Amino acid sequence: MNDIKLALLGSQGAGKSAVLVRFLTRRFIGEYASNANSLYHKRLSIDGRQLNLEVFDPCSQSSEARCILEEPVDWADGFVVVYNISDRSSFIDAKNILLQIREARMENCKGEVEVPVCLVGNKQDLCHARQVCEEEGRCLAQEHRCHFQEVSAAESYQDISALFTQLIRQVMELLKYRADRRRYSGSKSMAKLINNVFGKRRKSV
Ligand SMILES: Nc1nc2c(ncn2[C@@H]2O[C@H](COP(=O)(O)OP(=O)(O)OP(=O)(O)O)[C@@H](O)[C@H]2O)c(=O)[nH]1
């Protein structure tokens, strides 16, 4: 069974918990305790595969949230970066988070497939108070080569479910790629070893 670890990042009040709880329970719960980090577990089946999903929803202000950004690849297999379309400062925070993820990827991944990220513009139901247009979100996502989706955790389940499903599929591909690479480099070193031992012997015969 695959273990998939995701982290939700974004500024305070962007709706991280609302988006996650909508995905996990199909429900919208108006208020969440925002002074604690939460780790959610769920068993899922996607494309016929059983998965153990772990999602970290950090309290925006906590030091653990900052730690995750310091070692993102070690901690999570994929990220959901959430901003509030009716709050420009949350979009600026999302930009900074994407930059930090990219920097950390460059340091940690070294030629590896990129860690999957989805940029989410939440609170689409508040479009009368919109401060970030959809195009800006799309452009930012293109710049960071990540998926983008505007959603309303308050009003809809479908878009949120689709974005998590797509992200989890990307993560499964990344984990498969890593496992194949490990297997390949393992068999390459085994072949080298055999060649060293038997190749040398053959020469001396
Ligand atoms: N109108 C509207 N309100 C939302 C939506 N999603 C979340 N909210 C509200 O926004 C507020 C913040 O939501 P949270 O999910 O707690 O936000 P958060 O990003 O987890 O916040 P922190 O835990 O403080 O970092 C709550 O009052 C939610 O009810 C949405 O899609 N539409």
Say how many Å lie between the CA of residue 164 and the centre of ligand 1.
18
Smallest Cα–Cα separation from 90: which of 69, 64, 65, 60?
60
DSSP 88-142: HHHHHHHHHHHHHHHHHHHHHHTTSPPPPEEEEEE-GGGGGG--S-HHHHHHHHH
Name the percent of the chain lying above pLDDT 90.
Answer: 59
ipTM of the assembly? 0.98
Q: Mark residue 123 as left, alpha or beta (left: phi above 0; alpha: psi -120 to 50; beta: remaining).
A: left
Question: Is the pTM above the cut of 0.90?
Answer: no
Say how many Å lie between the CA of residue 79 and the centre of ligand 1.
18
Per-residue confidence at 59, pLDDT binned at 50, 70, 90? confident
Q: Which helix (H) or strand (E) holds 197?
A: none
By alpha-carbon position, which residue is closest to atom 28 of ligand 1? Answer: 30
Per-residue pLDDT at 72 = 47
Q: Which helix (H) or strand (E) holds 156?
A: none
Say how many Å lie between the CA of residue 176 and the centre of ligand 1.
34
Smallest Cα–Cα separation from 75: which of 56, 93, 97, 94?
56
Per-residue pLDDT at 37 = 78
The residue whose two tokens read 């939700």 is 8
- Tell me: the pLDDT tens digits for 14-34? 999 999 999 999 999 877 766
**Ligand 1 neighbourhood includes 60 CB (under 6 angstroms):** yes
- Tell me: the pLDDT tens digits for 72-91? 456 789 999 999 999 999 99
Cα dihedral 64, 69, 73, 79, rounded to 10, equals 90
Per-residue pLDDT at 64 = 54
Which residue among 86, 97, 123, 149 has the greatest number of ligand 1 atoms within 8 angstroms of its CB, and so is best to mutate? 123
55: helix, strand or coil? strand
Smallest Cα–Cα separation from 141: which of 73, 204, 185, 83?
83
Judge whether residue 171 has pLDDT over 60: yes
